[in-house]
Amino acid sequence: GDSVTQMEGPVTLSEEAFLTINCTYTATGYPSLFWYVQYPGEGLQLLLKATKADDKGSNKGFEATYRKETTSFHLEKGSVQVSDSAVYFCALSERGGSYIPTFGRGTSLIVHP
Amino acid sequence: GAGVSQTPSNKVTEKGKYVELRCDPISGHTALYWYRQSLGQGPEFLIYFQGTGAADDSGLPNDRFFAVRPEGSVSTLKIQRTERGDSAVYLCASSLTGAGRVHEQFFGPGTRLTVL
């Protein structure tokens, strides 16, 4: 079955540091890939997505590239801010099906001033 | 123009009781999803509605769990004979649908269920 593996958190960084959160996946087909973010006290919201190999999703300074050869979709940001502190979830959704996403366990990011 | 709403935001109940959790999706979204999120875990799929019908209920853990969406809008997740292991945040999401396209799911804030 499909699965998503994320690096364990928490990830603790100082403001303006470079961020990488690793995500790898296992899928039977050719999935679409997502990063969702959950800010404290709020619901999940889509951060970015990529639907085919070599696509780069980007939003709010975050980027992730769909790497089919390494089955990865690592999240990066060049300079994090305190306001980026949240839990980040990597997810995949198989095309041709009902698009029900399979989520990773989430990685907590804490950014200190 | 509101997002997905869920009520109640918190529910505390005793073991063995029956609970209902409500989800109001975004107007016009025909797809509706229920998830359960335990502490330190990602959302776990429970059931997916396309219109009024349950298109996929393979994630429901057992027959104590049931969900309805009688008019294709509001949905209710029903849990009978609650157990302490049912304690979690129950999330609802809705999306547009279209053959061959991946539509973004919009999540509600969740209902935190605590079974004592």
Q: Going by DSSP bridges, is the β-strand pair A11-14/A107-112 parallel, antiparallel, or unpaired?
A: parallel
Confidence of residue A60 (pLDDT cuts 50, 70, 90): very high
Contact list in A for residue B48 (CB cut-off 8 A) is 98, 100
Cβ-based contacts under 8 A for chains A and B: 51
Q: Quick one: CA torsion of B26, B27, B28, B32, rounded to 10 degrees? A: 40
pLDDT at A100: 82
Q: Which residue has the higher pLDDT, B99 or B82?
A: B82
| DSSP letters for B43-108 | -EEEEEEETTEEEE-TT--STTEEEE-TTSS-EEEEE-S--GGG-EEEEEEEE---TT-PPPPEE-
For B:56-95, CB contacts with A below 8 A are 56, 91, 93, 95
A49 touches chain B (CB under 8 A): yes
Tokens of B102: 């991946």
Between B60 and A41, the higher pLDDT residue? B60
Residue-level pLDDT at B98: 52
DSSP string covering A75-107: EEESS--GGG-EEEEEEEEETTTT---EE---E
pLDDT at A55: 95
Contact B102 A103 (CB under 8 A): no
Model pLDDT for residues A79-106, shown as the tens digit of each residue:
999 999 999 999 998 865 567 889 999 9
Please judge whether A44 and B48 are an interchain contact, meaning their C-beta atoms are less than 8 angstroms apart: no
Query: What pLDDT is recorded for position B103?
Result: 72
Decide if A3 contacts A24 (C-beta within 8 A): no
Greater model confidence, B75 or B96: B75
Is the pLDDT reported for residue B40 higher than 70?
yes
Taking Cα atoms as reference points, which of B15, B13, B14, B6 lies closest to residue B33? B6
Look at residue B69 in the predicted model and tell me its pLDDT: 96
Establish if B38 touches chain A: CB-CB under 8 angstroms: no
Q: What is the pLDDT of residue B99?
A: 47
Cα separation, B26 vs A54, in Å, equals 32
CA distance B75 to B89: 16
Tens of pLDDT, residues B49-71: 989 999 889 999 999 999 999 99
CB neighbours of residue B23 within 10 Å: 27
CA-based nearest distance B104→chain A, Å: 7
Residue-averaged pLDDT of chain A: 93
Q: What is the pLDDT of residue A95?
A: 66
Q: Judge whether B111 and B19 are in contact, CB under 8 Å.
A: no
Q: B55 in contact with A at a CB cutoff of 8 Å?
A: yes
Residues 6+ apart with CB under 8 A from B39: B88
**Closest by Cα among B83, B62, B75 to B16:** B83
Q: How high is the pLDDT of residue B101?
A: 60
**pLDDT value, residue A91:** 94
For residues B35 and B97, the model is more confident at B35
| Residues 77-96, chain A, touching B (beta carbon < 8 A) | 89, 91, 93, 95
Q: Which candidate in B104, B111, B112 is best for mutational testing of the A interface (most A CBs within 10 A)? A: B104
Asked if B33 lies within 8 A of A32 by C-beta distance, the reply is no
Interface membership of B109 toward A (CB under 8 Å): yes
Angstrom distance (rounded) from CA A53 to CA A71:
10
